[in-house]
Structure 1
Amino acid sequence: MGSTGDEPIIMAGPVPFVDVVVDNAGGAVANKADPGVVLPQEEEYESFVSSLPSNPKLQLLRYQGKWLLQSWVPGIIAIQRGGFAPRRGGGDVVLASLPKCGTTWLKALAFATMARRAHPPAGDEQHPLLRLNPHDCVPSMEKLFAAGLGSKIMDALPSPRLMATHVHHSLLPASITDNPHCKIIYICRDPKDMIVSLWHFVRRRLPEIPFLELFESACEGRCLSSPIWDHILGYWNASKTRPETVLFLRYEELLHDPADSVRKLARFVGQPFSPEEEEASDVEDIVRLCSFEQMKNLEVNRAAGLSPALQQNAYTNGGPIWNHIVGYWNASKARPETVLFLRYEEMLQYPIDNFRKLARFVGQPFSPDEEEAGVVMDSWTSRGGAGDWTNHMTPEMARHYNIDEVPEVYVKSLAYHS
């Protein structure tokens, strides 16, 4: 059994959970089950699992009305049976989301924000996010507890502890959802974009699966983390009834103004930025540290996560795709008046600046009147996957998904109507 939550608190976190694992167990803890975690007996669990509705193709089980990865279920059961207890006064924070909704980015931003005193976002060459993947800094609760390691690692982490989950609000125990000592930060993404992103992810294992099949599964509430609207509205309603312990963020707003979301996050966890930190541009440094461009260029986030196709020579230095890029790069340096070289990542991070740059390049710079009227902002329609669903769904499909899944009043209140 894990801790009761009443032990004295030593405030030194958050720290990367893999560092604690290595320090406390010499790297071997991942191979040892935690005898203290309350997991179902093996035979009991096997019998229980065999009785659950399943989707073998997607490796899903229907547990308590929700479709979940089969590998998550034992961890969720352990958490529900008391395997995890928030610490009184410890400042525990749970990051919650549907899969493919900005989880990795939120992990990085939350960790960098909460750990900024121990690890300044600028000038620290040993910053955890420069040597570790965000998933190595913030653990998945269901995965840890499914492996029988949950309470061992959670008990070893100093406060405040930072962890993540993909499960529905209704599946979390009251020890988390009704606990004033535990806060939840939920990130929501337009479900239509989430389905498209999930389809791309599923295709890594099932390359032949058509988009329509996954879309129909989502509409019927049979895909990963379905019912999807139930997942979103569970946290949405919790944020309205308990705003002091549940913060609801939108992925699209995070893309549009990451600095504002970071400030909101910091205030919510009780670590607002001081005037001195604002003056020192700490917020901007955190946004920069956690940017797509920064994270994708780190070795720890590159080769290990690439599919075999992306590790072929065609994509590396000297390969044909690399040469394609370099050809235009060199041309932009030799003839900057006729070749403009843009980076997708910079478009994501600074869309307005890039719109201005493009307008100047084609000889149509925005006038002061257009700037004043907000023409530049109106030109921004989607970025970072926001609105990508329009490339895969017809308007009829989008309306069918929204209307069939949830009352339209909720869809409009979340600004995800088609």
Structure 2
Amino acid sequence: METTTISSNGESEVKDEIQGLIASLPSEKNWDGSPLYFYQGVWYPVFAIRGALSFQQHFIAQDTDIILASMPKSGTTWLKALTFSVVNRNIYSPKESPLLATPPHELVRFFEIDLYSKKQLPDLIQLPSPRICSCHSHYETLPQSIRDSGCKIVYICRNPLDQLVSYFHFSRKFKRENVKPLSSIEEGFDNVCLGIQSYGPFWDTVLGYWKASLERPDKVLFLKYEDLKEDIISNLKKIAEFLGIPFTDKEEKEGVIEEISRLCSLDSLRNLEVNKNGVRPSGLPNSSFFRKGEVGDWTNYLSPFMAENYLKIVEEKLGGSGLTFRTSQ
């Protein structure tokens, strides 16, 4: 897909052959009207396919790396804030946290739609150690270096009904010339039931990380959005323990965990000036990454028939895995 040649001055020049591959891939319409491309079992949005392929081919993991993975609209922004705060708690107190002035997506950057979409061989040396980055890739499509290294993967999963509704609202915020986004959730529902959605099928991505977390619990931590909503304190402890930097007795007595949970609560993050204003490079306002965040909000948008039908499909796909979802508070 890509060949590398050496120029006369010794610099690496990457010859892009990805475009030809993309043109040959099966495609469908995404919810915002833009193309989705099917590659190695995954439906990639048009703005991520090049970066996803470059990430897969070129990323070299370090044992100290921390990879945050998710389906879109599953608590990604929240997980970034929580993990950044846990990892850097000895550098920044919650009152001095960069989160107060910088959106989580700038502190923990995406591989596919940021680092590798801007440059096929990005310079990652400037990222502080431990490097914390995120992706929407399926476990099976992660670079081999991630799976072979000692780096840690934290995956967050959200119940399929709330994820579906949240992504519908999010996708409608994309404004593209000559592209008409869906006017109702019913329009794209049949495709979603077939697994055709950004980084879908839903069941394949959650099942990949779920199985990996059971087979390699020291490598992959599987979190559920609904559990975080119910008890953020115990899940902060779980994240810290998994990353090998557990909270000390002294930190617990001094209320460090509670301070982080307050700073990183959805309400706190949503109401920070930096997240209420400003625009991402994609053109999306920072505020678009914070909607309701409620468990069970799907009841306001999906009919009982739609919800039952989709849940039945997901449950059949996950049959026998032991993975279950809570769809109400």
Could you say which TM-score interval applies, normalised by the shorter chain?
Answer: 0.7 to 0.9
Give the direction of change, closer, same or farther, for the CA distance of 1:198–1:267 in structure 2 (3 Å limit).
same
Cα deviation, residue 204, structure 1:
1.7
1:96 to 69, 74, 80: 69
What amino acid is the match of 2:173? Answer: R
Identity between Structure 1 and Structure 2 (%)? 39
Aligned partner of 2:213 in structure 1 is: 239
Structure whose CA Rg is larger: 1
Distance, in Å, in 2 between the alignment partners of 1:36 and 1:162 is 26
Cα deviation, residue 182, structure 1:
0.8
Q: Does 1:222 align with 2:196?
A: yes
RMSD: 2.5
Give the direction of change, closer, same or farther, for the CA distance of 1:417–1:274 in structure 2 (3 Å limit).
closer
1:182 to 151, 156, 173: 151
Mark the runs of 5 or more structure 1 residues left unpaired by the alignment: 1-34, 311-344, 349-382
Aligned partner of 1:52 in structure 2 is: 25
Size of the alignment, in residue pairs?
Answer: 301
Q: Does 1:86 align with 2:57?
A: no
Distance, in Å, in 1 between the alignment partners of 2:35 and 2:152 is 31
Give the direction of change, closer, same or farther, for the CA distance of 1:282–1:149 in structure 2 (3 Å limit).
farther
1:348-373 Cα deviation digits (max 9, x unpaired): 9xxxxxxxxxxxxxxxxxxxxxxxxx
Aligned partner of 1:116 in structure 2 is: 89
Task: Give the TM-score, by structure 2 length.
Answer: 0.84
Distance, in Å, in 2 between the alignment partners of 1:178 and 1:191 is 30
Higher strand share: 2
Mark the runs of 5 or more structure 2 residues left unpaired by the alignment: 1-10, 175-179
Aligned partner of 2:129 in structure 1 is: 159
Distance, in Å, in 2 between the alignment partners of 1:197 and 1:248 is 20
Aligned partner of 1:402 in structure 2 is: 311
Q: Does 1:413 align with 2:323?
A: yes
Q: Does 1:199 align with 2:168?
A: yes
Aligned partner of 1:72 in structure 2 is: 48
* Local SS of the residue matching 2:50: helix
Q: Does 1:388 align with 2:297?
A: yes
List, as ranges, runs of 4+ consecutive aligned residues in structure 1 with deviation greater than 6 Å.
none
Task: Give the TM-score, by structure 1 length.
Answer: 0.67
Q: Tell whether the 8 Å contact from 1:402 to 1:417 is kept in structure 2 after alignment.
A: no
Aligned partner of 1:146 in structure 2 is: 117
Cα deviation, residue 396, structure 1:
2.9
What amino acid is the match of 2:62? Answer: R
Distance, in Å, in 1 between the alignment partners of 2:207 and 2:190 is 20
What amino acid is the match of 1:388? Answer: D
What amino acid is the match of 1:203? Answer: R
Distance, in Å, in 2 between the alignment partners of 1:58 and 1:412 is 35
Q: Does 1:212 align with 2:186?
A: yes
Higher helix share: 1
What amino acid is the match of 1:80? Answer: Q
1:81-102 Cα deviation digits (max 9, x unpaired): 2x221224xx211000000011
- Larger relative CO (CA 8 A, sep 6+): 1 or 2? 2
Q: Tell whether the 8 Å contact from 1:66 to 1:225 is kept in structure 2 after alignment.
A: yes
Q: Which deviates further from its counterpart, 398-407 or 112-121?
A: 398-407
Cα deviation, residue 406, structure 1:
4.4
Q: Which deviates further from its counterpart, 58-67 or 250-259?
A: 58-67
* Local SS of the residue matching 1:85: coil
Q: Tell whether the 8 Å contact from 2:154 to 2:221 is kept in structure 1 after alignment.
A: yes
Distance, in Å, in 2 between the alignment partners of 1:417 and 1:286 is 27
Distance, in Å, in 2 between the alignment partners of 1:410 and 1:59 is 33
* Local SS of the residue matching 1:212: coil
* Local SS of the residue matching 2:188: helix
